[in-house]
């Protein structure tokens, strides 16, 4: 465990709360300590209120903030005097506790205080740090966990048996800490939960956390139970296997049963396959998560059945039975699916949700394997897991819900996505909540966006094998394919038929027609497994209904693609796939239209540049954004009853009309 404290860096943070931010971020940088919003930190500060009265205020990490990136507004200021009085109560329900915490904040805009706020208040130290350190959790999640903790720390830590987070935990901790702490006490271990450190300064509390966790790591090392040095992204020898269609089918079955599309992320790196192929997997994988903080996010971790359909059917039966028996709201998505061939699959309503589960389970694997090497992995009891899963506060979050963007959980593929209309389609899809794969021959596509729900890949669309690999990678990354936007194409320089070379003709046809045919054909098995029905949008051209001289190859290729689209609509309707065409014209904010080109074309027609750009019936400028927005809108439920449509987006062209 490396201590990251740096005097020069710390000097940039002013005041007690500033230093609280600094050390919180240090803890958050290490995923073996906290993951995705886990862990809590606090500081007690005496301040004057608006009336000039001095008050002791507890600044505790607020709900929704991550320690790795937390800022001062991420801490909720709560009046200490009231918290200490609450701690003396014999009982306090979760809803009552939440109300008391919110009404005692000194800043109305602050986030909701942590459910561990009262616990932080009763510890008699200025700074308090709490992490779910992998090493500590590994040790406590064994049958002999209590004895092992005593062996490592002696009487320098107070040990608390597992209690569900909330008021009862704070009350028990207050009693035991008051009875068992002494001058040499430097921490507190919560069995199956994590570890606390504290101090009069931010550095003291942080240093003690690193020291305490370091002792646990050394213990694992001495007992040959330290995590294997296998990077999570290490490759395996069987990565050439094709699982895309199996994953798409699994996602389809999940979505069909839960009633909405989901993201299904596949992980077949060496670490995950090795775990998924353990002989004792059916035992160790079913005992529960490493800490209560992970119960909701990784709940119900099943093994894949004999086939996808039987697995999903069995799981859905389990879900319905528990929901009916317990009269509670349940999130019906199984978070983790383990299979010896597929490896680890993680599911969520969004890419972020699926990735969070993957990160958590990556660390859970380390905890399970470490505890097993010590003796046996023993997580929370079934009773405790049940209590956490149906916790009042968790049920309240499920009920609160909210309306997600219209394409949340859906997966789209866009060709020619690095610029112009293609990029506009990507932007519109991301805005509506879809996960997007963008293809382009331009390497800039790989860094177009640095976000989890976008994957950019360099691809020559005329390479059939490359397209097949793209679909496989898409399925492994997100789980399948729902939306296909065929935008990539070329517009060669004007040339009469008499002067048109066979080489140019063939090149235009290979990109504008043949490549789209191949991608449509290879995408079909995935599109027909789309939970809401597959959708294809073809970016055609005004030249389809109204060709012009000098554009024979381009016009013919787009016309042929348009006819292919119509045939596909007839053939794919039975698979609930709808396919529509857009015919844009005069989209001048794309790469082929430079300022010089625009000026020359405008001069040719005796128009100004602005007149040329709006030379249509409506006198409007057609932009890439307007085309992209309409293309994506065609993929929403608004057009659920439309297929084989040909829609002009040209401001009104007299020849087309």
* Residues annotated as part of the active site: 554
Question: Each residue of 245-272: b (16+ CB within 10 Å) or e?
Answer: ebbbbbbbbbbebbebbbbbbbbbbbbb
Short-list 421, 423, 406, CA closest to 636: 406
Short-list 585, 586, 580, CA closest to 646: 580
Burial of 399 (0-12, 13-18, 19+ CB in 10 A): exposed
For residue 267, give both structure tokens.
Answer: 């992980």
Residue identified by tokens 């540049």 is: 609
Q: Cα(55)–Cα(49) distance, rounded to whole angstroms?
A: 7
Angle, vertex CA 264, rays to CA 426 and CA 439, nearest 5: 30
Give, for 585, the enclosing helix (H) or strand (E). none
* Neighbouring-strand partners of residue 54: 48
**Cα dist from 279 to 269, 282, 288, whole Å:** 18, 8, 18
Question: Each residue of 497-527: b (16+ CB within 10 Å) or e?
Answer: eeebeeebbebbbebbbbbbebbbeebbbbb
Cβ pair 340, 276 in contact under 8 A: yes
Burial of 656 (0-12, 13-18, 19+ CB in 10 A): middle
Q: Cα(395)–Cα(125) distance, rounded to whole angstroms?
A: 33
For residue 160, give both structure tokens.
Answer: 């608390």
Distance of CA 373 to the CA centre of its chain: 32
The SS3 of residue 476 is helix
Short-list 299, 353, 301, CA closest to 330: 299
Q: Cα(527)–Cα(481) distance, rounded to whole angstroms?
A: 6
């Amino acid at each position: 465990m490396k201590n990251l404290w740096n005097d020069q860096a710390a000097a940039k943070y002013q005041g007690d709360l500033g230093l609280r931010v600094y050390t919180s971020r240090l803890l958050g940088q290490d995923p073996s300590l906290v993951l995705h919003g886990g862990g809590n930190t606090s500081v007690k500060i005496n301040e004057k209120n608006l009336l000039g009265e001095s008050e002791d205020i507890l600044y505790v990490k607020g709900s929704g903030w991550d320690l790795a990136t937390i800022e001062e507004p991420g801490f909720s200021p709560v009046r200490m005097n009231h918290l200490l009085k609450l701690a003396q109560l014999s009982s306090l329900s979760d809803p009552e506790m939440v109300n008391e915490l919110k009404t005692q904040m000194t800043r109305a805009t602050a986030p909701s205080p942590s459910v561990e706020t009262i616990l932080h208040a009763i510890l008699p130290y200025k700074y308090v740090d709490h992490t779910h350190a992998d090493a500590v959790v590994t040790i406590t999640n064994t049958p002999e966990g209590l004895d092992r903790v005593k062996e490592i720390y002696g009487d320098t830590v107070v040990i608390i048996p597992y209690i569900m987070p909330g008021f009862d935990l704070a009350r028990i901790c207050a009693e035991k800490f008051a009875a068992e702490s002494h001058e040499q006490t430097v921490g507190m271990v919560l069995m199956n939960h994590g570890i606390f450190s504290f101090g009069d300064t931010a550095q003291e509390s942080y240093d003690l956390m690193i020291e305490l966790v370091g002792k646990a790591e050394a213990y694992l090392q001495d007992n040959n139970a330290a995590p294997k040095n296998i990077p999570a992204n290490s490759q395996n020898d069987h990565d050439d296997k094709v699982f895309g269609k199996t994953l798409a089918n699994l996602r389809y079955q999940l979505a069909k049963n839960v009633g909405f599309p989901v993201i299904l992320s596949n992980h077949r790196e060496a670490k995950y396959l090795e775990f998924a192929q353990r002989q004792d997997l059916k035992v160790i994988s079913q005992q529960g998560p490493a800490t209560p903080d992970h119960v909701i996010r990784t709940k119900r971790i099943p093994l894949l059945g004999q086939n996808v359909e039987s697995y999903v059917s069995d799981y859905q039966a389990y879900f319905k039975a528990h929901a009916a028996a317990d009269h509670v709201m349940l999130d019906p998505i199984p978070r983790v699916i383990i299979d010896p061939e597929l490896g680890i699959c993680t599911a969520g309503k969004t890419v972020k949700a699926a990735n969070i589960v993957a990160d958590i389970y990556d660390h859970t694997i380390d905890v399970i394997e470490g505890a097993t090497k010590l003796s046996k992995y023993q997580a929370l009891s079934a009773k405790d897991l049940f209590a956490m899963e149906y916790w009042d506060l968790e049920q309240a979050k499920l009920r609160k819900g909210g309306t997600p963007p219209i394409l949340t959980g859906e997966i789209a593929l866009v060709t020619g996505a690095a610029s112009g209309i293609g990029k506009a389609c990507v932007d519109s899809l991301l805005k509506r909540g879809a996960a997007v794969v963008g293809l382009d021959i331009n390497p800039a596509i790989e860094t177009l966006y640095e976000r989890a729900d976008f994957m950019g890949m360099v691809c020559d669309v005329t390479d059939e094998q490359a397209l097949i690999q793209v679909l496989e990678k898409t399925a492994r990354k997100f789980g399948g394919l729902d939306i296909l936007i065929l935008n990539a194409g070329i517009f060669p320089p004007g040339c009469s038929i008499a002067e048109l070379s066979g080489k140019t003709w063939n090149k235009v046809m290979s990109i504008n027609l043949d490549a789209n045919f191949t991608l449509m054909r290879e995408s079909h098995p995935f599109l027909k497994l789309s939970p809401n029905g597959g959708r294809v949008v073809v970016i055609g051209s005004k030249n389809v209904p109204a060709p012009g001289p000098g554009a024979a190859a381009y016009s013919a290729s787009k016309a042929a693609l348009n006819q292919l689209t119509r045939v596909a609509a007839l053939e794919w309707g039975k698979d609930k796939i709808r396919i529509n065409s857009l015919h844009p014209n005069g989209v001048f904010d794309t790469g082929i239209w430079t300022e010089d080109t625009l000026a020359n074309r405008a001069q040719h027609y005796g128009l100004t540049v602005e007149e040329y750009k709006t030379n249509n019936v409506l006198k409007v400028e057609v932009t890439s954004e307007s085309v992209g927005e309409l293309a994506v809108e065609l993929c929403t439920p608004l057009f659920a009853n439309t297929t084989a449509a040909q829609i002009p987006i040209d401001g009104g062209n007299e020849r087309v009309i």
